[in-house]
Amino acid sequence: MLSWWKHAARIVATILLGGLLGATLLRTAPGFGIDNEELDPRLNHASVVALRQNQPGGNLLSFYFHHLSRLVHGDLGTSRTFERPVSQLLRERAPETLKLVGLGLLVGWALALALALPAVMVRSRSMDLCTSVLSGILLCLPAALLGLLFVLTRAPVRLVLALIIFPKVFRYSRSLLARSASMPHVLTARAKGLSQLRILLWHVLPTAAPQLLALAGVSVSLAFAAAIPVEALCDLPGIGQLAWKAALGRDLYLLVNLTMIVTTVTLLANSAADLLAQSLTVNP
Amino acid sequence: MKKIFSLIVRLVCVLFVAAIAVGQTSNELRFCVKADPKTLNPLQVADDASETVRYLTGGVLLRVNRLTQEAEPELATSWKVTDGGKTITFKLRDGLHFSDGTPFSADDVAYTVQQLMDPALHSPTGDSFRSGEGKVLTSVAKGDRITITFPAPVAGLDKLFDQVAIMSARSPQKEKAVLGPYYLADWKAGSYLLLKRNPNYWKQDAAGHRLPLIDTVRIDVQQNRDTEMLRLLRGEIHFINSVDPESFDKLASENAAVVHDAGVSLDAEFMWFNQASKSPLPAYKQKWFHSTNFRRAISESINRADLARIAFRGHAQPGVGPISPANKVWFNTNLHAHPFDQRSALQRLAQDGFRLQDGKLRDSDGHNVEFSIMTNSGNKNRERMATMIQQDLSGIGITVNVVSLDFPSLIERMTRTFDYEACLLGLLNNDLDPNSQMNVWLSSADDHQWNPNEKTPETAWEAEIDKLMHAQAATLDLQKRKQYIDRLQQIAWEQEPFIYLVNRNALSAVSPSVQNAHPVVLRPQVYWNVDELSLRSEVASAK
Amino acid sequence: MMKSALTIAILLLASVVTACLFANFLTSSTYAHQFRDIPDSPPSHQHLLGTDDLGRDRFSRVLYGTRVSLLLAPAAALLSSLLAAVIGGIAGFAGGWTTRLVMAITDLFLSLPWLLLLITVRALMPLNVSPITSVIITFALLGCLGWAAAARVVCADARSLAQSDFVLLARASGAGGFRLLFRHVLPNLRPILFAQFWISVPVFILTEANLGILGLGVAEPLPSWGSLLRELENYSSLTAGPWQFVPLVLLIAVVSCFQIVLHKQELPV
C-alpha cells in the first residue's frame, strides 16, 4: 500500500517539476511578453505601454505557486493568444486530439505488427527488404507533404499520424522481435517442429514483451509529439495546435498547462508499461 | 393503379423537398479565415478574423465604398464636418432596429462613441481618433441628429467612421445585437463560424429586394493555404480574399476565370537599418547605418524589378516611397523608384570612404562591410527577397547574412533589445489618408522603426518630418495637406530611412458561381459588397 | 537476389558520396548563383535538374545539400544513439532508485517543449554566424535532445539482460561494473541502437528543415536536404514536374541503401 502512495507521489512531483521547467523554458525564451498587436500604427503611446504591461510578470516561482493554487480550484488561467480561459480551450479541443492520437496509435501499431511479425517468422530476405524500403519511404516523407497528399486524394486526414508512427514502431519492434527469434530456446522450439504460431506466441513474444511494452509507452509520447505538427499542418482543431500556437506565441498559461498534461500522459503511459512488464517477468 | 399514383406523388414531393433543401444549402457563402476571432466586441477588433466578423455583422454610420473609395451613407443619411475638423454632425435614419428588435436611435451612437473613446479600453479604432488629450463630447438632438466634438482636429474624420460599428446601449444581448447584414448564429471554436441573415437589416437593392441576397455565410477556420486553394478548385468554398503569387499562378493555370489581379495595392515591403542609439551594435556599424550615402547606395544596389518579377512572380511593382502609387490622391507623381545602378552606388560609397578591394567592400577603417538582414520566417516572399538582396549586394562586395526569425523574437529585437542590423518587413495599409501613418513618421512615436521614441529628433530631416506631420494634421485644406505630404515623400526618397522595395498587387480568387463580385484593392477585397453578392443556384455544386 | 541488391546499394552509395565530394568539378554553377532570367525552368543542358524559384541550379544545390546533410545528420544520429545507449544502459543495469530517477528524467525530457530551447539558442547566437556554423549547431542540438525515446526501450532491454543467465555467468566469472556493461551488455543492445540510428537520420533531416521557422537550421544560400524538401510542401510545386522530387528520392535511396549494406550489423551477436 505504501509503495502505491510512493509511486503516486513520485508521479505528482515529476508532473509539478515538468510544469515548472516548461514555464522556465518559456520565460527565458526571447520574445516573451511580446504582443504582435504592438506594431499596429493606430495605437498611441499609452495603449502600447498598456499592452506591454499586460503580461504575466513577476518572479517565476511566485507565478508558478499562484498558478498551482488556482489550479487546485479548477482555474487554469487565461490564454493570451486566444483570449479565452484555458480550461474551455482544453475541453473543446481534447476530443479531437484523443481521436487523432488513438486512431494513430491503433492503426500505426496494427500496421507495424502486421508487417513485423510475418517478416520475423518467415525470415525471407526479400520481404525484409521490401518492408524496410516501405518504412524508409514513410520516414523520409515530410509531414506537410503527407498531409497534402491526403487532402489531394481526399483520404481521412487523421490517418497521417498513423503513417508517421508506423515506420518508427515497425523498425524498433522488428529489431526486438528478430533478436528474440534468434535466441537459443526459439531455435530449439523450431528444431522440435512446433508450429509457427506456437513459437510466436509462446517463445518469441514473451521474450520481447518487456521491451515491446516500453516501446508502447514511449510511442504514446511520440504520438503526442507528432500530433503537434500534424494538427498544425492539417488544420485539425486539437490540443496539438494549441501547443504549437502557445510555443510560437509565448503563451505562458497555455504552455504550462499543456506541458503538465503531456507530462502526465507520458508518465502514466510509461509507468503502466513498466508495471505490466514487471508483472510479466514475474510470471514465468 | 392507385398505389402507383400515390407512390409517384410521394416521390415528387420528396424530390421537391430535396430540391428546396438543396436550393437552401446552396444559398450559403463559404470562405476561410486563418484563425478564430479573438474578440466579438467591435471596439476591440485588432486581428483579421475579428475584423471579418465585424465587417459582416456591424452597422456603420457611413461606409467607404471599396470600389469608388468614396464615403457613402449607411446608418447616417448625411453628415457635416465643421470647426476645422473637430466636430462632426450626423443625421441618422429612423425606424431602424437591431437584430434582436431593439430600436436604434442616436443614443446608441452616443453610447458607442463614449465606449470607443474610453482611455482605459485602449481600442485601436479609438486611438485613430485620439489626436489630442481631452474628453470627447456627444450631444443628441431630436433623436435623429448627433454631434460629436473631439478635443483636437482629426484628419479625415468622416472616413474614420467606416471602422466604428454601432453597438446598442439598451439591448440585453450587448454586442450580439447588430445592425449589419448578418448576425453570428453559431461558432464552433477552431472549426467554423455561421452567420445568418439579419431579419431587421434595413437595406434594399435598386430593384427593391431585401438585402442581403445570400441567406447564410459560413466561415471555416483554415490556416493551410494549399488546402484552401484545393477547396476553391473543388467548389467547396467560394472565394479567397488574398492569394499569394504562387497559388495565383497555379489557380490561373487551372481556371483563368477564377483569379483576379486588382492591380497594385497600398501594401508595401521595405527594409531599414537600425539607427537606434540604444543599440548594442559596434560604433563603426552604427556609423554606416547613420550615413545617408550608405543607405542610398544600398537602395541603388538592389534590383527592384527583379524582386517584383521573381519573388512576386510579376504581381508587384517597384516601391517608391511611403505612399503607394495606387493612392492616386496622395502619391507624389514626381518621384520614381530608385534606379538599379551599382556604379553610382559605389561612387556614393566612395564619398564616405568605402573602397572596393579584392571583391570586398571595406570602410575607411578597414572593416569588411558585412551585416545581417532579419525577416520573419513563414513569409516566403520576404525570405526570397532577402536572398535576392544578398546576391545583389554581393555585387558591390557586401556580405549579407539572411536570418529568418519567428515573429516574437523579431519584435523583441526590433523594439526591446535593438540588437539587429537590418530588418525586412512589410506594412499592410488599408487607409488612404496618410494621417494613419503618423505614428510611423513622428520621431517620438513607437512605430518609428529605425529609431523609435526619440526624445528630440536626432537629425534635421527627422525634425522637418515632425513639423510636416503636425502641420498636415492641423488643417482641413486638401491642397496644403497635399503639399506637406509631397514634401514628406520627397524627404523619405532622399534619405531612405525605409528602403522601399515593392508594392504588392492585390490578388484574389473568386468562384464563377458568385455573382456581382468586383475584387478591389482595399480590404476586404472580395466581399466588400457582401449584401449585394448572390450565388448562381447550381444544384450540381451543392454536392 | 540479395547479393545483387547489396551490390546495387553499395554502387549507389559510392556514386552519391563521390558525386558530392567532387561537386565543384561536376557543376559549372555554384549553388548560390541566381540565374534570374530562368526561374523555375525545366531540365536542360546547363541545368540538369532545372532551376528553383530563384533561378538557382537545382543539381548543384542537391549535390551541396547532400554534402551538408550526409555528413551532419548521421553524426547527430550517432550522438543521440550513444547517449541513449549510455543513459538507458546505466539506468537499466544499475537498478533501484537510479533506474527510477533516470527514467523520470527521461520522461520529463520527452514531455518538455524543446522548441523554446531551440529558439533561445538562436537568440544567444550572434546574428552574423556563417550558414555552416548555424547548421552544425542545429544538428548538435538535435543529437543532444533526441535520445529520450530510445533510452526507455534501451533501459527495459538492459534490465531484462541484467537479469538474464549469461550476465549472471559473466558476473560469476568475476566481471563487474562498467566492464560488464560495456563488454557484455551493450553489444547485445545493438539491434535497438541500430533501429534508433536509422530512424534518427531521416527524422533529423526533416526536423532541421522545419526548424527554419526559428532561424535555426541552414541559412540562405546554403542548401540542405531538408531545405530542398521544403520546396515540395506546397501544391504548386508538387504538380510542377518530376524533377522536383529528386531530393526526396535521393534521401529515400540513400537511407535504404545504408540499411541494406549494414543489414548484417543489425542482427544480434
pLDDT in tens, C198-209: 888 889 988 888
Please state, in angstroms and rounded to a whole number, the distance separating the CA atoms of residues A269 and A213.
Answer: 10
Report the pLDDT value the prediction gives residue A32, as an integer from 0 to 100. Answer: 87
Chain B residue with Cα closest to A34:
B408
- Stretch C29-40: mean pLDDT: 87
Chain A residue with Cα closest to B160:
A42
**From residue A18, how far is each of A63, A255, A262, C108, C114 by CA, in Å?**
15, 11, 9, 6, 12
**pLDDT tens-digit map of B256-272:** 999 999 999 999 999 99
Select from A39, A91, A148, A153 the residue whose CB has the most chain B CBs within 10 Å, as the one to mutate to test that interface. Answer: A39
The amino acid at residue B78 is S
Report the pLDDT value the prediction gives residue B15, as an integer from 0 to 100. Answer: 61
Contact C199 A270 (CB under 8 A): no
**pLDDT tens-digit map of A54-91:** 776 677 888 888 888 888 888 888 888 888 899 999 99
Cis peptide before C221 (omega within 30 of 0): yes
Q: State whether residue A177 sits within 8 Å of chain C by CB.
A: no
B401, β-bridge pairs: B372
Angle at C16 between CA C15 and CA C19, to 5 degrees: 80
Q: How far is A207 from chain B (nearest CA, A)?
A: 46
Report the pLDDT value the prediction gives residue B459, as an integer from 0 to 100. Answer: 92
Q: Which of A41, A89, A249 sits opposite B439 (nearest CB)?
A: A41
- Which residues, numbered 116 to 155 in chain C, qualify as contacts with chain B under a Cβ-Cβ cut-off of 8 Å? 119, 122-123, 127-131
Q: Number of residue pairs across B and C with CB atoms under 8 Å? A: 82
**pLDDT tens-digit map of C16-33:** 888 888 877 777 678 888
Q: What percent of chain A has pLDDT over 70?
A: 97
Average pLDDT, rounded, for chain B:
90
Q: Which helix (H) or strand (E) holds B224?
A: none
B135, β-bridge pairs: none
Contact B405 C39 (CB under 8 A): no
Report the pLDDT value the prediction gives residue C268, as an integer from 0 to 100. Answer: 47
Partners of residue C1 in chain A, C-beta under 8 Å: 125-126
Report the pLDDT value the prediction gives residue C24, as an integer from 0 to 100. Answer: 72
User: Which is nearest to B532 in space by CA: B57, B241, B213?
Assistant: B213
- Stretch B126-138: mean pLDDT: 88
Report the pLDDT value the prediction gives residue C212, as an integer from 0 to 100. Answer: 76
Report the pLDDT value the prediction gives residue C181, as an integer from 0 to 100. Answer: 65
CB A89 within 8 A of CB A242: yes
Contact B384 C119 (CB under 8 A): no
Report the pLDDT value the prediction gives residue B222, as an integer from 0 to 100. Answer: 92
Q: Identify which of A180-184, B20-24, B232-236 has the greatest average pLDDT.
A: B232-236
Select from C116, C127, C237 the residue whose CB has the most chain B CBs within 10 Å, as the one to mutate to test that interface. Answer: C127
Please state, in angstroms and rounded to a whole number, the distance separating the CA atoms of residues B491 and B502.
Answer: 19
Please state, in angstroms and rounded to a whole number, the distance separating the CA atoms of residues A207 and A212.
Answer: 9
Confidence grade of residue A203 (pLDDT, cut at 50, 70, 90): confident
Residue B365 contacts by C-beta under 8 Å, 6 or more apart in sequence?
B284
Partners of residue A125 in chain C, C-beta under 8 Å: 1-2
Higher pLDDT, B104 or A279: B104
- Stretch A86-109: mean pLDDT: 93
Confidence grade of residue B294 (pLDDT, cut at 50, 70, 90): very high
Confidence grade of residue C264 (pLDDT, cut at 50, 70, 90): low
**pLDDT tens-digit map of C156-182:** 888 877 777 777 777 777 766 667 666
Q: Is the pLDDT of residue B19 over 60?
A: no
Q: What percent of chain B has pLDDT over 90?
A: 71
Chain C residue with Cα closest to A131:
C256
Partners of residue A275 in chain C, C-beta under 8 Å: none
Q: State whether residue B440 sits within 8 Å of chain A by CB.
A: yes
Q: Which of A10-14, B97-101, B311-315, C96-100 has the lowest mean pLDDT?
A: C96-100
Contact A178 C268 (CB under 8 A): yes
Tell me the Ramachandran region of residue B447: left when phi exceeds 0, alpha when psi lies from -120 to 50, beta otherwise: alpha
Report the pLDDT value the prediction gives residue B541, as an integer from 0 to 100. Answer: 41
**pLDDT tens-digit map of B406-444:** 889 999 999 999 999 999 999 888 888 999 899 999 999
Report the pLDDT value the prediction gives residue A62, as an integer from 0 to 100. Answer: 85
Half-sphere exposure for B122 (CA within 13 Å, toward CB): 17
Average pLDDT, rounded, for chain C:
83
The complex's ipTM works out to 0.89
Contact A142 C199 (CB under 8 A): no
Report the pLDDT value the prediction gives residue B537, as an integer from 0 to 100. Answer: 66
Angle at B102 between CA B98 and CA B106, to 5 degrees: 80
Contact B190 A237 (CB under 8 A): yes
C138-141 contacts at long range (C-beta below 8 A, 24 or more positions apart) = C138/C208, C138/C211, C138/C216, C138/C217, C138/C218, C139/C72, C139/C73, C139/C75, C139/C76, C139/C204, C139/C208, C140/C76, C140/C79, C141/C117, C141/C216
Partners of residue B415 in chain A, C-beta under 8 Å: 34, 38
Higher pLDDT, B479 or C215: B479
Please state, in angstroms and rounded to a whole number, the distance separating the CA atoms of residues B224 and B233.
Answer: 15
Please state, in angstroms and rounded to a whole number, the distance separating the CA atoms of residues B520 and C46.
Answer: 42
Q: Is the pLDDT of residue B446 over 80?
A: yes
Q: State whether residue B391 sits within 8 Å of chain C by CB.
A: yes
- Stretch B171-186: mean pLDDT: 91
Select from B131, B230, B446 the residue whose CB has the most chain A CBs within 10 Å, as the one to mutate to test that interface. Answer: B446
Chain C residue with Cα closest to B385:
C54
Q: Number of residue pairs across A and B with CB atoms under 8 Å? A: 97
Q: Three-state SS for A159? A: helix
Report the pLDDT value the prediction gives residue B483, as an integer from 0 to 100. Answer: 94
- Stretch C79-95: mean pLDDT: 87
pTM of structure: 0.90
Confidence grade of residue C193 (pLDDT, cut at 50, 70, 90): confident
Chain A residue with Cα closest to C254:
A136
Q: Identify which of A273-277, B474-478, B498-502 has the greatest average pLDDT.
A: B498-502
Query: In b/e form, how buried is each residue of B77-103, taking b as 16+ CB within 10 angstroms?
Result: eebebeeebbbbbbbbeeebbbbbebe
Q: How far is A58 from chain C (nearest CA, A)?
A: 20
Select from B391, B394, B409 the residue whose CB has the most chain C CBs within 10 Å, as the one to mutate to test that interface. Answer: B391
**Residue B72 burial (CB count, 10 A):** 10
Partners of residue A230 in chain B, C-beta under 8 Å: none
Partners of residue A51 in chain B, C-beta under 8 Å: 122
Q: State whether residue B388 sits within 8 Å of chain C by CB.
A: yes
User: Which is nearest to A132 in space by CA: A164, A175, A91, A98?
Assistant: A175
- What does residue B139 show for φ and ψ, rounded to 5 degrees? -135, 130
Confidence grade of residue A186 (pLDDT, cut at 50, 70, 90): confident
Contact A148 B226 (CB under 8 A): yes
Report the pLDDT value the prediction gives residue B13, as an integer from 0 to 100. Answer: 59
Q: State whether residue B137 sits within 8 Å of chain C by CB.
A: no
- Stretch A226-232: mean pLDDT: 90
Partners of residue B398 in chain C, C-beta under 8 Å: none
- Which residues, numbered 23 to 82 in chain C, qualify as contacts with chain A under a Cβ-Cβ cut-off of 8 Å? none
Contact C221 B310 (CB under 8 A): no
Contact B401 C219 (CB under 8 A): yes
Report the pLDDT value the prediction gives residue C219, as an integer from 0 to 100. Answer: 83
CB A55 within 8 A of CB A273: no
The packing angle between helices C114-124 and C131-145, to 10°, is 150
Contact C119 A31 (CB under 8 A): yes
- Which residues, numbered 52 to 111 in chain A, qualify as contacts with chain C under a Cβ-Cβ cut-off of 8 Å? none
Residue B210 contacts by C-beta under 8 Å, 6 or more apart in sequence?
B201, B203, B204
- What does residue A175 show for φ and ψ, rounded to 5 degrees? -65, -45
Contact C127 B387 (CB under 8 A): no
Please state, in angstroms and rounded to a whole number, the distance separating the CA atoms of residues A210 and A195.
Answer: 24
B370, β-bridge pairs: B399
Q: Which of A130-134, B45-49, C67-71, C264-268 has the lowest mean pLDDT?
A: C264-268
Partners of residue B308 in chain C, C-beta under 8 Å: none
Confidence grade of residue A180 (pLDDT, cut at 50, 70, 90): confident
- Stretch B50-77: mean pLDDT: 93
Contact C256 A136 (CB under 8 A): yes
Contact A82 B36 (CB under 8 A): yes
Residue C248 in grid coordinates:
526526396
Q: Three-state SS for C21? A: helix
- Which residues, numbered 18 to 47 in chain C, qualify as contacts with chain B under a Cβ-Cβ cut-off of 8 Å? 32-34, 36, 39
Please state, in angstroms and rounded to a whole number, the distance separating the CA atoms of residues B502 and B504.
Answer: 6
Please state, in angstroms and rounded to a whole number, the distance separating the CA atoms of residues C174 and C195.
Answer: 32
Q: State whether residue C113 sits within 8 Å of chain B by CB.
A: no
Select from C128, C132, C137 the residue whose CB has the most chain B CBs within 10 Å, as the one to mutate to test that interface. Answer: C128
- Stretch B450-460: mean pLDDT: 92
Contact A40 B191 (CB under 8 A): no
